[in-house]
Amino acid sequence: MTANAPALKKKRHNRMPMLAQAGPVSIWMILFVTIPMLFIIYISFMSRGTFGGVEYTPTTESYATLMDATYFKVILKSLEVALITTGACLLLGYPFAYYIARKPPEVASKLITLLMIPFWTNSLMRLNAWMLLFQTNGPVNNFLQAIGLTEAPITFIYTPGLVLLGLITNFLPFAVLPMYSSIEKLQKSLLEASADLGATPRTTFLKVTLPLTFPGIFSAIILTFIPALGTYTVTDMLGGGKVLYIGNIIKNQFGAIRNWPLGAALSVLLLVITALLIFLYTRFAKIDDLEVL
């Protein structure tokens, strides 16, 4: 007992820095991430109150509503749009990331800064700019009419097409950055070895470059697909309330419509999709390697 006392005291003493350093972040995450996430799952299985809000009687009604034709269509449409956005971001972003990664480091870091600067402009103002460009009497329509491609102005604003343009331009940098850092890490000697062993540039790309940069590509998929699936600001700004995806439906349940359990159920759906993608990711890469910055 007496022999143990100093040892115990020492152990207590050593805990102080751990509590001071890891404590606040742990408490914050549990209070404001874990508990709200668990609570939203709980709410999604409750009933809708008569005047909005929640009645605490368990039901799976909200999930049944999601299977309704109207909501189900919105979900499918949102998945489709998020998929197209992701595909476009990968196809546009990979060659661009490759271009930057093959520059000397000091040039590459300048090019990356050049990529970040536009994002210091408020994202809504950038979306608004696309709308000004594509207005019915805006510059794009004037140009198309001037070169005789169209006689009457084309309606671009508040269409799914313009929303898609907004989504792609908004999320492209988040696809470029992780792909850039994985291409940059790729060792040149491997490519040279492949060429020396007689592989054509195409084979080298398909058999060496692409597989080795796959973690970056998957990071890019996660960082574009999930936010594209959940966004409501892009659709709000460019769709003008006429183009509705999952994000808008969730938001509306907490505004005018006030059906919290339904909004919660849709949120849980997004959580499940996210978890599935992350699970796939962790099958072949560590979560710490997910390039989020």
Partner 1 sequence: MNQTASKKRAARRGFTKALGDIYAVLIYSIFYIPVAVMMIFSFNDADRNFFWKGFTTRWYGELFEFGNHDLWESLAYSLVIAILATIISVVVGVLGGIGLKKFKFVGKKFIDTMIYVPIIVPEIVLAVAMLIIFMTIGVKLGMGTILIGHCTFCIPYAVVTIKGRISGDNETLQEASMDLGANRVQTFWRVTVPSIMPGIMSSAFLSFTLSFDDVVMSNMLAGASQSTLPVLILSMNRTGVTPDVNALTSLIVVFMVVGMLVSNGFTRHRKKKEAKLIAEAESAISAARSKM
The footprint of partner 1 on residues 58-97 (CB under 8 A) is 92, 95-96
Nearer to partner 1, 194 or 235 (CB): 235
As measured in angstroms, the least distance from the Cβ of 2 to partner 1 is: 27
Nearer to partner 1, 108 or 199 (CB): 108
Residue 120 near partner 1 by CB under 8 A: yes
Note the maximum CA span of the chain.
Answer: 96
Nearer to partner 1, 165 or 208 (CB): 165
As measured in angstroms, the least distance from the Cβ of 109 to partner 1 is: 11
Q: Write out the binding residues for partner 1, residues 168-207 only, by CB under 8 A.
A: 169, 172-173
Query: From residue 29 to residue 48, what is the string marking binding to partner 1 with x (rule CB under 8 A)?
Result: xx-xxxxxx-xx--x-----
Nearer to partner 1, 18 or 147 (CB): 18
Name which of 274, 257, 279, 276 is nearest 71 in CA terms. 257
What is the C-alpha to C-alpha distance for residues 91 and 108, in angstroms, rounded to an integer? 20
**Interior angle at CA 37, CA 21 and CA 46, nearest 5:** 155
As measured in angstroms, the least distance from the Cβ of 121 to partner 1 is: 5
What is the C-alpha to C-alpha distance for residues 293 and 279, in angstroms, rounded to an integer? 20
Residue 20 near partner 1 by CB under 8 A: yes
As measured in angstroms, the least distance from the Cβ of 234 to partner 1 is: 10
Residue type, 59: T
What is the C-alpha to C-alpha distance for residues 115 and 173, in angstroms, rounded to an integer? 7
Stretch that binds partner 1, among 61-69, 192-200, 205-213, 240-248 (CB under 8 A): 240-248
Residue 233 near partner 1 by CB under 8 A: yes
CB distance 291 to 181 below 8 Å:
yes
CB neighbour list of residue 138: distance below 8 Å, 6 or more residues apart = 132
3-state secondary structure of 86: helix
The residue from 89, 100, 101, 179 that contacts partner 1 (CB under 8 A) is 100
Stretch that binds partner 1, among 26-34, 63-71, 148-156, 207-215 (CB under 8 A): 26-34
CB neighbour list of residue 194: distance below 8 Å, 6 or more residues apart = 203, 204, 207, 208
Phi, psi values for residue 148, rounded to 5°: 80, 20
The residue from 182, 224, 236, 265 that contacts partner 1 (CB under 8 A) is 236
Query: From residue 137 to residue 156, what is the string marking binding to partner 1 with x (rule CB under 8 A)?
Result: xxx-----------------
Question: What does R_g of the chain's alpha carbons equal in angstroms?
Answer: 25
CB distance 6 to 12 below 8 Å:
no
Nearer to partner 1, 69 or 181 (CB): 181
Name which of 85, 119, 93 is nearest 182 in CA terms. 93
CB neighbour list of residue 137: distance below 8 Å, 6 or more residues apart = 153
Binding residues with partner 1: total (CB under 8 A): 83
Residue tagged 């195409």 (tokens): 202
As measured in angstroms, the least distance from the Cβ of 151 to partner 1 is: 20
Q: Write out the binding residues for partner 1, residues 264-283 only, by CB under 8 A.
A: 264, 267, 270-271, 274, 278
The residue from 8, 22, 76, 280 that contacts partner 1 (CB under 8 A) is 22
